[in-house]
Amino acid sequence: MARCFITRTLPGASIDRLTAAGHQLDIWPERMPPTPAELVSRTAEAEGLLCMLTDEIDAGLLDSAPDLKVVSNMAVGCDNIDLIACRERGIDVGNTPGVLTDATADLTLSLMLALARRLPEGMSSVRSGEWKTWSPDFLLGMELRDRTLGIIGTGRIGSAVSARAIAFGMEVVESGRPDGPTPGLPLAELLAQADIVSLHCPLTEETRWLVDAEFLSKMQSHALLINTSRGQVVDQIALATALSSGTIAGAALDVTDPEPLPSDDPILMAPNLIVTPHLGSATNRTREAMASIAVDNLLAGLEGRPLPHPVT
């Protein structure tokens, strides 16, 4: 029997497998994540930790948990975990890849359509009474057919978005790591061509603040930006300036920095902007599958078996 701390209530029945295995579970019951101090305190005697992307797992926390064997992150990205510190301490780390690909790709297309067809403005006009009658020049938007979608990040989600965009009749161009297996176009060339730019890259030192003032200046003035990757890939001050000045026509963000955004954050004052509360994987099927994979990783690590989905 091992002691485990789980930093949020999990959807579905996956938790029952940990109970059936005889493990002692401490499950954080609140909607808000544990504070750093609470996270350290509740993990101190744990052998297994199942955490969320909102939980920072750093060297200090690991030092305070000498019995910890495995960290299972209920997410694909692991930028919330100090992977080097885990490796140095012999702690296995797992994630939940692949399972949220379709849900995130669907949301990306939803944001793309909502932004291109100006749906938030249309809904607002109905509620405010601005919609008086049908008019030939009222809230004209962009059709997707024959437009060029530029995808930055050529992994699973980027590929799934590409397939959906092609079904809408779009031309797709891609840009990945220059030294990767599918580098695609140089970034500047993609930005010059794309009517819509969609971000699907992981957060690394190379991609942090990738979308800055220079990046935005290379986009076409009618172009739209979609971000369903990580908030820190975008310099939000530069984006707010670009939207206000008309450097680009609009943006949709499912991820922000920080999360959640303060109600007075300057980005929320920018025009032609959609912000959603990190809904990329928010479907019943996907979240239950993520929980199941996270439990698979946790059980394997506690039993000394190789994790089915390790992070290296």
The DSSP string of 54-95 is: TS-B-HHHHHT-TT--EEEESSS--TTB-HHHHHHTT-EEE-
Which is catalytic among the residues 42, 230, 287, 309? 230
pLDDT at 159 over 80: yes
User: Rounded distance, CA 152 to CA 107, Å?
Assistant: 16
Domain 3-98+284-302 identical in fold to domain 101-275: yes
Query: Residue 67: its pLDDT value, please?
Result: 98
Mean local confidence (pLDDT), 119-126: 96
User: Rounded distance, CA 312 to CA 297, Å?
Assistant: 14
Asked about 259 being catalytic, the answer comes back as: yes
Question: Closest by alpha carbon to 258, among 56, 30, 18?
Answer: 56
Asked about 230 being catalytic, the answer comes back as: yes
Mean local confidence (pLDDT), 192-211: 96
CA-CA-CA-CA torsion for 75, 77, 83, 86, nearest 10 degrees? 0
Asked about 177 being catalytic, the answer comes back as: no
User: Rounded distance, CA 50 to CA 42, Å?
Assistant: 12
Query: Residue 157: its pLDDT value, please?
Result: 95
Residue 178: which pLDDT band, with cuts at 50, 70 and 90? confident
Q: Where are the alpha helices (DSSP H) in the chain?
A: 15-20, 36-43, 59-63, 83-88, 101-116, 119-128, 156-167, 187-193, 213-217, 236-245, 284-302
Query: Strand order in 70-73's β-sheet?
Result: 24-27, 3-6, 48-51, 70-73, 92-94
Residues 6+ apart with CB under 8 A from 188: 218
Q: Per-residue pLDDT tens for 37-70?
A: 999 999 999 999 999 999 999 999 999 999 999 9
Q: What is the DSSP code (8-state) at residue 305?
A: P
Residue 180: which pLDDT band, with cuts at 50, 70 and 90? confident
pLDDT more than 70, % of the chain = 100
What is the CATH superfamily name and number for domain 101-275?
A: NAD(P)-binding Rossmann-like Domain (3.40.50.720)
Domain spans of the chain, in order of start = 3-98+284-302, 101-275
Residue 1: which pLDDT band, with cuts at 50, 70 and 90? confident
3-state helix, strand, coil in the chain (%, to 5): 35, 15, 50
Which is catalytic among the residues 118, 278, 287, 309? 278
Lowest mean pLDDT among 182-186, 203-207, 220-224: 182-186
Q: Per-residue pLDDT tens for 239-254?
A: 999 999 999 999 999 9
Query: Residue 177: its pLDDT value, please?
Result: 83
Q: Name the average pLDDT for the chain.
A: 96
Q: Per-residue pLDDT tens for 271-285?
A: 999 999 999 999 999
Residues 6+ apart with CB under 8 A from 9: 27, 28, 29
CATH topology of domain 3-98+284-302: Rossmann fold (3.40.50)
pLDDT at 234 over 90: yes
Residue 121: which pLDDT band, with cuts at 50, 70 and 90? very high
Secondary structure of residue 22 in the 3-state scheme: coil
Residue 71: which pLDDT band, with cuts at 50, 70 and 90? very high
Q: How far apart are the first and last CA of the chain?
A: 27
User: Rounded distance, CA 97 to CA 270, Å?
Assistant: 33
pLDDT at 78 over 90: yes
Query: Residue 230: its pLDDT value, please?
Result: 95
Q: Where are the alpha helices (DSSP H) in 251-306?
A: 284-302
User: Rounded distance, CA 54 to CA 49, Å?
Assistant: 14
Residue 183: which pLDDT band, with cuts at 50, 70 and 90? confident
Which is catalytic among the residues 259, 285, 305, 309? 259
Mean local confidence (pLDDT), 137-143: 97
Query: Residue 197: its pLDDT value, please?
Result: 98
Residue 179: which pLDDT band, with cuts at 50, 70 and 90? confident
